[in-house]
Amino acid sequence: MSKRLITPEDLLQLRSVTSPALSNDGEHVVYVETTLHEEKDTYAAELVMTSPHNPDQNQYLTHGGYINKLPRWSPVGEALAFISNRTGTNQLYTLSSWGEPKQLTEEKKGVNDFRWSPDGKTIAYSSTQYPEEEKENDKPEPLVVNKMKYKSDASGFWQGEYVHIFTVEIESGKHTQLTDGAISYTLLDWTADSEQLVISSVNEENTDFIFSNDLLLLSVEKKEFIQLTNQTHVISDASASPDGRYLAVRAHERDYENATHFEIYLLEIATNEWTKLTGDWDVQLGPVVAADFLQNTVDPGLVWSGDSRSMTFLVSEQGTVGLYKLTTDGKKEAILTGHAHVYGFSILADGSSLVAGINHVAHPGDLYLIQSGEERKRLTTSNDDVLDELEVVQAEEIRFQQEEGHELQGWLMKPAGFNEKETYPLIVEIHGGPHAMYANSYMHEFQTLTARGFAVLFINPRGSLGYGQEFVNAVRGDYGGGDYRDIMAALDYVLKQYSWIDESRLGVTGGSYGGFMTNWIVGHTNRFKAAVTQRSISNWTSFYGVSDIGYYFTEWQIQADLNDTDKLWKHSPLAYVNQIETPLLILHGEKDYRCPIEQAEQLYIALKRREKTTTFIRFPEANHELSRSGKPSLRLKRLDAIGKWFEQYL
């Protein structure tokens, strides 16, 4: 049977299978299955339970088309807790005996995250709180701004809200607020005795120039803090050992600002003695893949073994995300590696069973059971019926030595229906960040382009994570320099190696930093016959003041501020607008606070004023996450616009 070509609309048929949670006895796995709802133009995420021993018997634990996420088993018994928006806001629920879920919270602004206590009697959760009641009227209110960090691409304008920590007792339903005041807290874990919470915070009211956070222990009974750090680290995760002796902490000391690799530290609670366990390991600890398909993924963080001798976690390196174990004396062991993207896992305390979510370029992802001495066992087949109908394109890995002395890694995808006797146009894709990583991971955008007859080249230029600290830091202060040369070197390499690529029909596209680089490329070469820039940066001088991260990101990355506008302008693609001859499609979300739409407006007007070939598409209500989690209808229109632009000019 001949297979059909992938279309943008196939996003509506494919299912994202994520967030596996393995029960304590290893008999059940609960996971999140996310789909796009065309009629409601939204997403639905249901909890599904399967058995590692009989994966054909799936049971949907939730229904109704809401977002149900973060399934977590009680450490004691068979109760399951999760977050759902079925009442309109994210609230905490428990489920036992697979009956109806029981709602535990009624927070006005919902629940952000939660953790079971080790004794299974209590759940700690975090919730956004406002210092005073909001005014409920239809009249617009002015926003009074007194801080620099006053807006966020994720949450909009700051209006006095802070995140606080609560507990709820499972049996009595009693709620207790543990923190208050004009400080936000992040919930990380419980200590082994169920008496203290591990949290992080910035113990300052004015955080405009503070980018580290502190690690704290919070007594649940007394509501008293023990401060373990003093603004020395950026802390992304901490988990307590089952024996109560240690905290495993993933953190860094901002040696290279936001380009700094995380390390794993062992903190002895009794003495507050810190030991760095990963000082000789030059990799990125945690998942950092640039992708557009998976929904409701969760980084499990540092997961302790039951004997408190080791921890398991995800590692990004060399275009893959794998699973590693690290002992308390610093010995590393690869558990699950290979040419794939491990995007989540759940492991039994004794390490005998592991369930992992794995995908690769030609497969959106499924859950697999891994047991000692046994072959990997596939537990889900959520997309098999759709994939059986589609021509899904694999990718060929490329590696080559750049003339400047470092190795580059990338992937080349041939067009669907490839015929070696024909020649084909090529599109170069550039990821955002710039501190992210393309991986052997499914990208629906890439598949839709190959279905239209384009080859796709995607690489990790300097600045990308996964290739060592020196490599990721090399882009800072040099945007449009070595990173640009890396991308062009990759293009030259594939043109030399693959004669079927038509050098006269080249396209380029990317979003965020990838949009910046697209703008930069068309201002510095006419090799490309078409380009699509997405949620891009065109002018660092204005970006400094309008982005939610503008003033500090610009200082960290361009290494200049408004006292050095010459350097800001030198690295701004808008400065080279007179040299742009490539037909350029500009895509941008109107609610993008990360790279505000004025960046696109400036570029568009400058091009039109010079009578250059360009079109500007504005996506209403869309923020910086349009391509990944925007409204389904807009995501489809975006993919269609990209494909049609390249078809028109290539």
Residues in the chain: 650
Distance CA 226, CA 381 (A): 47
Distance CA 422, CA 407 (A): 30
Could you tell me the two tokens for 215? 């690690």
- Percent pLDDT > 90 in the chain is 92
Task: Please say whether the beta carbons of 222 and 205 come within 8 A.
Answer: no
Q: Is the dihedral of CA 547, 285, 253, 556 positive or negative?
A: negative
Q: How confident is the model at residue 1 (pLDDT cuts 50, 70, 90)?
A: low
Residue 55 pLDDT: 77
Q: Range of 595's domain?
A: 393-649
Catalytic hit among 316, 547, 624, 627: 624
CB within 8 Å of 396: residues ≥ 6 apart: 411, 412, 413, 414
Look at residue 300 and tell me if it is in a domain. no
What are the residues facing 113 on neighbouring strands? 126
Instruction: Provide the 10 A C-beta neighbour count for residue 210.
Output: 13
Residue 638 pLDDT: 98
Look at residue 177 and tell me if it is in a domain. no
Query: What does the pLDDT average to over 295-322?
Result: 97
> Reduced to 3 states, what is the DSSP secondary structure of residue 386?
helix
DSSP label at 52?
Answer: S
What are the tens digits of pLDDT across the range 270-282? 999 999 999 899 9
Residue 136 pLDDT: 65
Task: Please say whether the beta carbons of 108 and 89 come within 8 A.
Answer: yes
Query: What does the pLDDT average to over 524-532?
Result: 98
Distance CA 87, CA 108 (A): 11
Look at residue 628 and tell me if it is in a domain. yes
User: DSSP secondary structure string, 18-41?
Assistant: EEEEE-TTSS-EEEEEEEEETTTT
Q: Look up 512 and say whether it is catalytic.
A: yes
- Render the burial of 53-85: b for 16+ CB within 10 Å, e for the rest: eebeebeebbeebbbbbbbbbbbeeebbbbbbe
Residue 133 pLDDT: 62
For residue 132, is pLDDT > 70?
Answer: no
What amino acid occupies position 294? L
For residue 518, is pLDDT > 80?
Answer: yes
For residue 137, is pLDDT > 80?
Answer: no
Look at residue 119 and tell me if it is in a domain. no
What are the tens digits of pLDDT across the range 529-575? 999 999 999 999 999 999 999 999 999 999 999 999 999 999 999 99
User: DSSP secondary structure string, 125-168?
Assistant: EEEEE-SSPPP-SSS--PPP--SS--EETTTEE--S-EEEEEEE
Tell me how many domains the chain contains: 1
Residue 130 pLDDT: 85
Residue 466 pLDDT: 96
Look at residue 426 and tell me if it is in a domain. yes
Query: What does the pLDDT average to over 251-263?
Result: 96
Please report how the helices 513-522 and 482-497 are oriented relative to each other, as an axis angle in degrees rounded to 10: 70
What are the tens digits of pLDDT across the range 312-342? 999 999 999 999 999 999 999 999 998 899 9
Residue 204 pLDDT: 82
Q: How many angstroms separate the first and last alpha carbons of the chain?
A: 31
Residue 54 pLDDT: 82
The residue whose two tokens read 């669907």 is: 416
Element (H, E) at 556: helix 550-557
For residue 134, is pLDDT > 70?
Answer: no
For residue 131, is pLDDT > 80?
Answer: no
User: DSSP secondary structure string, 407-437?
Assistant: EEEEEEEPPTT--TTS-EEEEEEE-SSSS-B
Main-chain phi, psi angles of 603, to 5 degrees: -65, -45
> For the chain, what is the radius of gyration of the CA atoms?
25
> Reduced to 3 states, what is the DSSP secondary structure of residue 326?
strand
Task: Supply the mean pLDDT for the chain.
Answer: 95
Closest CA to 71 of 314, 286, 344: 344
Look at residue 586 and tell me if it is in a domain. yes
Main-chain phi, psi angles of 16, to 5 degrees: -95, 120
Instruction: Provide the 10 A C-beta neighbour count for residue 98.
Output: 11
Peptide bond into 434 cis (omega under 30): yes
Look at residue 559 and tell me if it is in a domain. yes
For residue 247, is pLDDT > 80?
Answer: yes
Look at residue 402 and tell me if it is in a domain. yes
Q: How confident is the model at residue 388 (pLDDT cuts 50, 70, 90)?
A: very high
Catalytic hit among 16, 184, 316, 512: 512
Residue 354 falls in which region: left (phi positive, over 0), alpha (psi -120 to 50) or beta: beta
Q: Look up 444 and say whether it is catalytic.
A: no
Element (H, E) at 365: strand 363-371
CATH number at residue 567: 3.40.50.1820
